[in-house]
A and B are shown apart, each in its own frame.
Chain A
Amino acid sequence: MTAVNPLHELLAEKGVLLADGATGTNLFAMGLEAGEAPELWNDSQPEKIERLHQDFVDAGADIILTNSFGGTRHRLKLHKAEDRVFELNRRAAELARMVADRAPRKVLVAGSVGPTGELLVPLGTMTYGDAVAAFVEQIEGLKAGGSDVAWIETMSSPDEIRAAAEAAAKVGLPFTYTGSFDTAGKTMMGLDPKDIHGVAQDIGEGPAAVGANCGVGASDILSSLLDMTAADPQAITIVKGNCGIPEYRGAEIYYSGTPPLMAEYARLARDAGAKIIGGCCGTSCEHLAAMRRALDDYTPRPRPTIEEIVERIGPLRNKTASESGGESTRERRRRRT
């Protein structure tokens, strides 16, 4: 790696970084309605976005993600905001930048880039070129607003990761990417966590970090993490897992993870070799503060096994990646060439 990027700089200084918690579910708690686009709040309710960023920084985050997950034109068109891609993304980054710059320590702004929701050809209708163009449009806004890095997340399709990575390289931002391993231990498109490293290695300067986010529960994502760090122990690996499992109580969604559970998740993530640790859906500032304390008071332990993870933070919901796959059990007549 020739150019030093801000993520590597801060990692060199601190060893392990704490990323932030959830955006969507926390905005929900602040009054976002089902069906509303969170990104529109960058314009209509900027004080709430600023407050969420501030709360995460106060809880100890080293990296905050911009409120721009659904910020491509494909996602914004549902809210008739496809003509506001640059503006909404720039605003998202500006809000996070402002909070990061007034923090008493170095805080990085990661420009969140989520999936378009479209399928690439041949499975769907979006061409690779269209995907790159849509991500370029978004990432230009994120860069203009002061993002340090393009944070490509919750991805399923290797092609879509590559398109977003290529867009970041074109715009001139370092990039990271994480997959959502929610289907039998792999992404819904079949990407195995152990194969995450190679997905966009050849694009631009290569990824600044790779990893997993969202997915199923905290235990499942740590199983993905073990696969990723085993496949490449030198890689800078991100894990940003959900705060347990969603539960419905009364009229609202709660996540089953408690702050002590997320603290133990953070310790286990570090034991398993993650360098950037955060929370996804359901992770509140209280959870994040518990994770901060866990990482600050960390005493190294041996690399955990799946069994130890399950014992400490609960059962896996899905199969692990190594249990899935393989050949069909049925007999085939003969295979075509």
Chain B
Amino acid sequence: MSDDDIILSELSDEELVQQMHDDLYDGLKEEIEEATRILLDRGWAPYDVLTKALVEGMRIVGIDFRDGILFVPEVLLSANAMKAGMTILRPLLAATGAPKQGKMVIGTVKGDIHDIGKNLVGMMMEGAGFDVIDLGINNPVENYLEALEREKPDILGMSALLTTTMPYMKVVIDTMKEKGIRDDYVVLVGGAPLNEEFGKAVGADAYCRDAAVAVETAKDFVRRKHNSLGGR
């Protein structure tokens, strides 16, 4: 196949969406912006551009990240490209009242400044259509509680990279229990030194090995939550 310049505007809708998946994979920000505008100009609903082009493209990136084919540098570039598309779509999505996947509050725990993993999860969650409220680094329990109260998210995500900071997750969850609000939220934890057993021991709903797993787990919990509400 030739590698001649691809003129995005000359592609059919179907080809263009495929090309967007490739361009997201390759982290090509300007191409994603251009293609997003083209689809909108062709009358696509913003929500369809989001789900069929961006979310689906990031899902593929997530799979290859999970499988050790892509690593953090490539995924960060993909996420940046996705964000550029989202910047165009966000006001349109809000204006058209498009459905939302859910909302997540996320931050690294007190004493931990390592936010690469947390940022990746945040970007992949946005890429999957979630609203993400990022509390940044070094969060004492008060920050988490305040944000839960203010934002009423579906999910709380906590991240730690150090063995010296990961026990703080238990402090946060225990405080939530004391306040009687633990079960109002899905609590997901992640970070290099963590594992599934640790997640269980501190009382989280799930440990997520990487950003792709975080997205899948979040979707799963939100779906279950909706189902259980629907059954009432």
Q: Quick check: A325 and B116 within 8 Å, CB to CB?
A: no
Contact call A34/B71, Cβ cutoff below 8 A: no
Query: How far apart are the CA atoms of A41 and B16 in the complex, in Å?
Result: 58
Q: Are B163 and A325 in contact (CB under 8 A)?
A: no
A-B contact count (CB 8 A): 135
- Alpha-carbon gap, A60 to B1, bound state (A): 63
Given contacts A119-B116, A336-B3, contact A248 B64 (CB under 8 A): no
Most buried by B among A156, A246, A324: A246
Contacts of B131-145 to chain A: CB distance below 8 A:
137-138, 140
Name the contact of A333 in the complex, choosing from B22, B137, B167, B194 (C-beta under 8 A).
Answer: B22
Mark interface residues in A307-337 (1 if CB within 8 Å of B CB, else 0): 0000000000101000111111010111111
Name which of A133-141, A179-187, A290-298 contacts chain B. A179-187
Contact digits for A209-238, partner B, Cβ 8 Å, 1 yes 0 no: 000000000000000000000000000000
Query: Could you say which residues of chain A place their CB within 8 Å of the CB of B73?
Result: 123, 189-190
Which residues of chain A come closer than 8 Å to B94, judged between CB atoms?
A: none
Q: Which of B24-44 contact A (CB under 8 A)?
A: 25-26, 28
Determine if A38 is an interface residue (Cβ-Cβ < 8 Å).
yes
**A contact residues, total (Cβ < 8 Å):** 52
Most central of A27, A75, A184, A251 by chain B CB within 10 Å: A184
A326: nearest chain-B partner, CB-CB:
B69
B188 to nearest A CB, angstroms?
16
Please report the C-alpha to C-alpha distance between residue A123 and residue B15 in the assembled complex, in whole angstroms: 29
B197 close to chain A: CB less than 8 A: yes
Q: Does A281 contact B (CB under 8 A)?
A: yes
User: Which of these, B22, B68, B115, B162, contacts A183 with CB under 8 Å?
Assistant: B68
24 CB contacts below 8 A, A to B, read: A24-B163, A34-B110, A34-B165, A35-B111, A36-B111, A123-B73, A183-B68, A188-B72, A188-B192, A189-B72, A190-B73, A246-B163, A246-B193, A248-B167, A248-B170, A251-B170, A253-B163, A282-B163, A326-B69, A330-B60, A332-B22, A333-B15, A335-B3, A336-B6
Which residues of A are interface residues toward B (Cβ below 8 A)? Answer: 24-25, 27-28, 32, 34-38, 74-75, 78, 117, 119, 123, 156, 180, 182-190, 245-249, 251-253, 281-282, 317, 319, 323-328, 330, 332-337
